[in-house]
Amino acid sequence: MERKAKKKLSENILDKFTIDFLRSQVLKNAYGNDDTMIAKLDPRILIVWYLFLGLVPWFVSDIYFLLGCFLLVVATTMLARVAGLVLFLFGIGVFSQTGYLFIVTLLFGGDASAIVPLLTLTLKVACCSLASITVFSGLDPDRLSNGLMWFGCPERLSFSISYAYRILPMLMEEFQNILLSFRLRGNPPASQTFWGKVKYLAYQVKTIMHAFYPLMLNTAKRSRTTVEALEIKGYRLAATDKRVKKMRLASLKVTWDDLMFLAVSFLWISLSILASTIF
Amino acid sequence: METTKREAATQSQKLMVFVLTMALYGLATLLTELIPSFQAGIVEFSVEYFLFIPLTLAMLFDPLSAALGAATGELVFSEIMLGQFGGLGELEKFLTVTIGVYVAGRMVKNPANRAMVGVAAITGTGLQLFLGMLVDIMKVQFAVEDFEAVAGLPESVFATEGFAFLNDLLFSGILFCLLPTLFLVPRLYGKIEPLLGMQPRTEKTFLGGINVKVILGCLAAFVVAAGAELLATSGMPLIEWEADWAESSTALAVGIVAAAVLSIIVLLVIKKRAEKPQRAQA
Amino acid sequence: MNIIEVQNLTYSYPAAKEPVLKNLSLEIEKGDFLAIVGNNGCGKSTLCKTLNGLIPHFITGDFEGKVTVDGLDTRENDVGTLACRAGYVYQDFENQIVRPTVLDDASYACMNYAMEDYRERGQEALSLCGLEGREDDYIWQLSGGQTHLLALAGAVSLRPEILILDEPIAQLDPSHADRIYEVLRKLNEEYGKTIIVIEHHTEYIADYCRHVVLMKDGQVRWKLPAREALSRVDELRDCNIFPPQVTAAARSLQGKGVRLPDGPLPTTVEEGRKYFDGLVWDGACPACAQAKGDEQGGSQSASPSAVEFRDVSMAFRSVKGEDRVVFDGLNLKVERGEKIALIGSNGAGKSTLMKLMVGLLKPQAGEVLLDGESIRRKKTESLSRKISLVFQNPEEMFIKDSIEADIAFAMQARGVENWKERTEQLLEQFRLTELRDRDGRLLSGGQMRRASLAIGIALNPGILLLDEPTANLDMATRREIMEALEAMKEVTETVMIATHDMQLVCEWAKRIVVLYQGRVVADGDRDEIFGREEVARLVGIRPPEIFTMGRALDERAYCYTVDEFTAAFRR
């Protein structure tokens, strides 16, 4: 059954699960939520918040505390309006780490007592992933890179983040067009029989690999202009100029909303600690 | 004057290679992240499907820029953009990818030589996988007290990790790293360089093979990688916080809650006050 | 006062055998609006890159001679200092935009040069370029024309005295192109900027530029006032540049011995009105009649249409908010043997329409029929023997490492028996035999187009779709493409071209379909389309200049080509 489902999924990589769909989902995730409450928060505050919720749950096994954290990050993820695909990936990720363990335990005659330790583990994993989804998907790329820069991350990284968000739509479109060329002129094997399906899958994987040859050359052409333009725009000078860094970071401001966000999170966490001491 | 000019040129070329590798490998890892992984029986394709991209570019251009570009691309596109950032543990992947790609790139003197390219590609992939395996084994070793004392544990860990390593290397390593690299490098050699305004790699422009400095650098990076990964994953049993809490009184927790409530109230009040003069001004 | 002085400049790229620029000297006055023309590969872009210091600081190579920009020697000042004097907008401008949002990109350079007021400067540049209100938009939300304006704003924000633009309107429809040039005119006239454009479109040069520099083989042939320069029709043609149609017509009439005023030839319709004053239209001339007769050629048979759209609706998911509807209940029939031009502004849905026809996109509602059969359930691959699409960007069609392999690819994949001979024949037909082992991407613009056409017809499709086949080409290359289209006539019955190139439309198409906001607003032969001014105004298309010229002289004159014009008007 599962094998069948998997086959079906992989068969549809280029058909239903198209690059077009991926593109729209990734774009949605990257750009579609810049007007949410999360996106408006100060990146430094959010990064500190993430450091707490991304790390502390790993070290704590108290179920009430974990539940509290989990509910909090679920709420923030909803506030950040994360794209469906990312949440789907999150689900797969959590399942692959803990869910299947539970099924295996049940198969080998385990009983419900296995639930509690597994639940703890699941909550830990889920909590950390959702916290990172909130911060990295919810934050505006530019604010995120400014925030990282404030914490002393290399300039190259923060440039890469902004640039990645700029170039991704272009890159995906180009890739998509090249794949279209393959689709128009190629001739995939028939996929009726089981062997046919395997061959079809192999064909598609091969096509994606081959598509990188033209993509590499086309992207090389682009990056030349880009790097020349960066030189004109003074990027290389700015990377070492302290004044520029200061100017960039001057746009960061902690507002009441940020403090309120922290305080509410703090209240919620402390309530869950209270709960755990009572019960 | 001349030297600064040349330096600017090489700097820019490095930046070009960095940007190129980052964009391409970033896109590729984004795709792998989005495409569900395949599993056929015990054989799992857990290798980086698209490692051939930075391998190819590292053999044609400056290896370090390509290696760093690849690692950054993966971090930015698939981890940060999709919010799949795994914290400190990502550093391990970052550094092992960098090391593998860099070493492979340094090994190739003449990109037209297929044998050399093939050896370098499989070495780079192998190195990346091997370092990953080492870290995995160490993780278990640190996590389980008296690792040696548990009967059969070391053997079983070595066996499973070793098998996974060989499986990855022989199966996906060859299919997804060696073959595409062998396909791409000779085809791109001499073609892609002019597009970036560079000269193809020759014996003259070749940086020189692997030397002690490279090995030491890679070792140092690996130590950092292993340290980060261990910190990230096996910190769990090292610190036992829950014990403290179980003993602490409810009163303390109530105190914390009260403090939180108080801080919110204070914030609200201050905000109200701060808003008033603004409104007056408006 | 000269703002740019180039003295005896000789430059060759690293590892190149021949210098690109050979002992070139040029002076440009402050406040000039200058066009640089010349055939592909004559060194125009290289010259421009020496003006902003990219050469020799960033791109090394052998550099001899002296370039002075706004009083600064480019060799002694770094790229940063020079960037504040001379802004540069690339031909592939979208790659020059490196930040995700609009205001951010416009002010990025200023921030990097540590200017405290970088936001204000960015803002100011945006409003100069007519992009106010878009500050917080993402780059991909902009149209092609707006993206170009943003690239310009990025350069303007540093407040340079000189702006250099490399083929600014190559991919734009006329209304977007006008907007770019209006912005440039404002910068030139109101703000005193010196503007330098590399430009193929001589109609725009005539309308906007003051001086023209003709380059050939790495040297400046001459620098002349625009009107005088454009009057040198023969020299321009030698360098593969189309002179304005009005000028070409005047030159041709001169050659026929028609008595015309002395002095420079007209370059715009306005000038033409005076110059051609006194000519009369002869509606009975054989050329006009023949042109009419040709148009009856479309075959009307009982067999099913080659392509039919039945109530097709198509929308794209958008990142935010509502889906973007491209077509809502579109109906269109394409008969066998038709030569159709598909026109409309950027974003009217031309490319989408073509992708629907080849099955790359599936409509949300309605049917697309090919030879009377719905293609909804058919695999894209199975359609490719019947219908083929040549992309706008040929680079996306090169998926193999040589054009020979690219041409053969589809035939091999389908096991076409004589694929070897057929490939050979196609290489021959498109004069690519000597280039067969080269990678498509490394060819010149015209060769690339030819190769992409050869790839497109490899499978002998009955229907061929071409997306912007003549964008960005000089005269020689364009002629080559036209010849190639002619040569394909026997093989491909039905051809549809999406284009902004109205000269191509008028010379080639038998039927014109005008798309506007996803609807067919006009459909007919060229008289029906261009004769109705309200359509042209609504959609923002513009008939060829010679057509406007003819009608300016006589309301009844419908001349679409220079030849028709010169045949129909006489003293």
Q: What is the mean pLDDT of chain A?
A: 79
pLDDT band at B6 (very low <50, low <70, confident <90, very high): low
Specify whether the backbone of A263 is left (phi greater than 0), alpha (psi in -120 to 50) or beta. alpha
* Coil/strand/helix, residue C25: strand
Q: How far apart are CA A208 and CA C509, in angstroms?
A: 38
Query: Which residues in chain A are contacts of B246 at CB distance < 8 A?
Result: 62
| φ/ψ of residue C244, rounded to 5 | -55, 145
User: For B56-80, how does the pLDDT look when each residue is reduced to its tens digit (9 = 90+)?
Assistant: 999 998 889 999 999 999 888 878 8
User: For C41-84, how does the pLDDT look when each residue is reduced to its tens digit (9 = 90+)?
Assistant: 788 888 998 998 888 888 878 889 999 998 899 888 888 888 88
* Shortest distance, CA B146 to any CA of chain A (angstroms): 22
**Site of tokens 């599936």:** C362
Instruction: Write the CA distances from B88 to B46, B48, B228, B239, integer angstroms.
Output: 20, 19, 6, 17
- In this complex, which of B191, B197, B199 lies closest to C59 when CB atoms are compared? B197
pLDDT band at C211 (very low <50, low <70, confident <90, very high): very high
Instruction: Inform me whether the pLDDT recorded for C208 exceeds 90.
Output: yes
Query: Which residues in chain A are contacts of B264 at CB distance < 8 A?
Result: 260, 263-264, 267
Q: How far apart are CA A164 and CA A182, in angstroms?
A: 26
Position with higher pLDDT, A189 vs B278? A189
Q: What's residue A257's pLDDT?
A: 82
Q: Report which of C382, C425, C386, C385 is spatially closest to residue C407, judged by C-alpha positions.
A: C425
How many Å separate Cα B34 from the centre of its chain? 18
DSSP string, C35-57: EEE--TTSSHHHHHHHHTTIIII
Instruction: Inform me whether the pLDDT recorded for A12 exceeds 60.
Output: no
* Shortest distance, CA A57 to any CA of chain B (angstroms): 10
Average pLDDT of span C429-449: 84
Q: What's residue A259's pLDDT?
A: 85
Q: Are B22 and A164 in contact (CB under 8 A)?
A: yes
pLDDT band at A14 (very low <50, low <70, confident <90, very high): very low
- C interface with B, Cβ–Cβ < 8 A, is 13-15, 56-60, 401, 439, 441-442
Q: How far apart are CA C273 and CA C378, in angstroms?
A: 56
| Amino acid of residue C431 | R
Q: Is A147 exposed, middle or buried (0-12, 13-18, 19+ CB in 10 A)?
A: buried
- In this complex, which of C57, C441, C442 lies closest to B8 when CB atoms are compared? C57
Query: Which residues in chain C are contacts of B191 at CB distance < 8 A?
Result: 401, 439, 442
Q: Are C105 and C134 in contact (CB under 8 A)?
A: no
Could you say which DSSP state residue C17 is in?
A: S
pLDDT band at C188 (very low <50, low <70, confident <90, very high): very high
Could you say which DSSP state residue B44 is in?
A: E
Query: Which residues in chain C are contacts of B6 at CB distance < 8 A?
Result: 60
Average pLDDT of span A92-115: 68
Q: What's residue C26's pLDDT?
A: 93
> CB–CB of C79 and A214 under 8 A?
no
Quick one: three-class SS letters along A67-98? HHHHHHHHHHHHHCCCCHHHHHHHHHHHHHHH
> CB–CB of C396 and A169 under 8 A?
no
Query: Which residues in chain B are contacts of A9 at CB distance < 8 A?
Result: 36
ipTM of model: 0.83
Q: What's residue B94's pLDDT?
A: 86
Q: What's residue C210's pLDDT?
A: 94
Q: Are C500 and C343 in contact (CB under 8 A)?
A: yes
Average pLDDT of span C268-285: 83
Query: Which residues in chain B are contacts of C57 at CB distance < 8 A?
Result: 5, 8
Instruction: Inform me whether the pLDDT recorded for A4 exceeds 60.
Output: no
Q: What's residue B220's pLDDT?
A: 78
Q: Crossing angle, helix B212-238 and helix B114-143, to 10 degrees?
A: 30
> CB–CB of C60 and B194 under 8 A?
no
Q: What's residue B144's pLDDT?
A: 59
Q: What's residue A19's pLDDT?
A: 67
Quick one: three-class SS letters along C72-137? EECCCCCHHHHHCCEEEECCCHHHHCCCCEHHHHHHHHHHHCCCCCHHHHHHHHHHHCCCCCCCCC
Q: What's residue B151's pLDDT?
A: 64
Q: For chain A, say whether C364 makes contact (Cβ under 8 Å).
A: no
Q: What is the mean pLDDT of chain B?
A: 75
Q: Is C302 exposed, middle or buried (0-12, 13-18, 19+ CB in 10 A)?
A: exposed
How many Å separate Cα C227 from the centre of its chain? 23
Q: What's residue C190's pLDDT?
A: 92
Please tell me the least confidently modeled range out of A16-20, B36-40, C177-181: B36-40
Q: What's residue B212's pLDDT?
A: 73
User: For A38-49, how does the pLDDT look when each residue is reduced to its tens digit (9 = 90+)?
Assistant: 888 888 888 888
Residue of A nearest to B176 (CA): A209
Could you say which DSSP state residue C491 is in?
A: T
CB atoms under 10 Å from CB of C391, counted, come to: 24
Strand partners, C340: C496, C511
Query: Which residues in chain B are contacts of C441 at CB distance < 8 A?
Result: 195
Average pLDDT of span A108-119: 68
User: For A129-187, how does the pLDDT look when each residue is reduced to its tens digit (9 = 90+)?
Assistant: 888 888 888 887 778 888 888 888 888 888 888 888 888 888 888 888 888 888 888 88
Q: What's residue A101's pLDDT?
A: 66
- Which residue in B76, B174, B176, B185 has the most chain A C-beta atoms within 10 A of its own C-beta, making it the best mutation to test that interface? B76
- Which residue in A127, A139, A277 has the most chain B C-beta atoms within 10 A of its own C-beta, making it the best mutation to test that interface? A277
Report C:63-82 residues touching A (Cβ under 8 A): 79-80
Query: Which residues in chain B are contacts of A171 at CB distance < 8 A?
Result: 23, 27
| Amino acid of residue B77 | F
Average pLDDT of span C439-464: 85
- In this complex, which of B5, B191, B197 lies closest to C57 when CB atoms are compared? B5
Instruction: Inform me whether the pLDDT recorded for C520 exceeds 80.
Output: yes
Average pLDDT of span B260-280: 71
**Site of tokens 């199975």:** C382
Q: What is the mean pLDDT of chain C?
A: 86
Q: Provide the strand spans (E) within C167-241.
A: 194-198, 211-216, 219-225
Q: Report which of B11, A220, A229 is spatially closest to residue C52, judged by C-alpha positions.
A: A229
Average pLDDT of span B128-143: 78
Structure tokens at A200: 């079809």
Q: What's residue B236's pLDDT?
A: 46
- Which residue in C57, C74, C444 has the most chain B C-beta atoms within 10 A of its own C-beta, making it the best mutation to test that interface? C57
| Amino acid of residue B133 | M
* Coil/strand/helix, residue B226: helix
* Shortest distance, CA A32 to any CA of chain C (angstroms): 6
Q: For chain A, say whether C139 makes contact (Cβ under 8 Å).
A: yes
Q: Crossing angle, helix A141-150 and helix A155-185, to 10 degrees?
A: 150
Instruction: Inform me whether the pLDDT recorded for C139 exceeds 60.
Output: yes
Q: Report which of C171, C497, C499, C517 is spatially closest to residue C357, judged by C-alpha positions.
A: C497
Structure tokens at C45: 């872009």
- Which residue in C20, C401, C403, C437 has the most chain B C-beta atoms within 10 A of its own C-beta, making it the best mutation to test that interface? C401
Instruction: Inform me whether the pLDDT recorded for C5 exceeds 80.
Output: yes
Q: For chain B, say whether A134 makes contact (Cβ under 8 Å).
A: yes
pLDDT band at B47 (very low <50, low <70, confident <90, very high): very low
> CB–CB of C109 and A234 under 8 A?
yes
Q: Are A191 and A11 in contact (CB under 8 A)?
A: yes
Instruction: Inform me whether the pLDDT recorded for C364 exceeds 70.
Output: yes
Q: For chain C, say whether A16 makes contact (Cβ under 8 Å).
A: no
Query: Which residues in chain B are contacts of C92 at CB distance < 8 A?
Result: none
pLDDT band at A104 (very low <50, low <70, confident <90, very high): low
List the chains bordering chain A where 3 or more Cβ pairs fall under 8 Å: B, C
> CB–CB of A274 and B76 under 8 A?
no
Q: What's residue B96's pLDDT?
A: 86
Q: For chain B, say whether A62 makes contact (Cβ under 8 Å).
A: yes
Q: Which residues contact A163 (CB under 8 A, 6 or more apart)?
A: B19, B22, C98, C99
> CB–CB of C381 and A241 under 8 A?
no
Q: For chain C, say whether A214 makes contact (Cβ under 8 Å).
A: yes
Q: How far apart are CA C368 and CA C313, in angstroms?
A: 10
In chain C the first and final C-alpha atoms are separated, in Å, by 46
Q: Report which of B62, B63, B50 is spatially closest to residue B23, judged by C-alpha positions.
A: B50
> CB–CB of C99 and A225 under 8 A?
no
Q: What's residue C157's pLDDT?
A: 92
User: For C293-333, how does the pLDDT look when each residue is reduced to its tens digit (9 = 90+)?
Assistant: 444 444 455 677 888 998 888 887 776 666 778 888 888 99
DSSP string, B239-275: ---HHHHHHS-HHHHHHHHHHHHHHHHHHHHHHHHHH
Strand partners, C194: C162
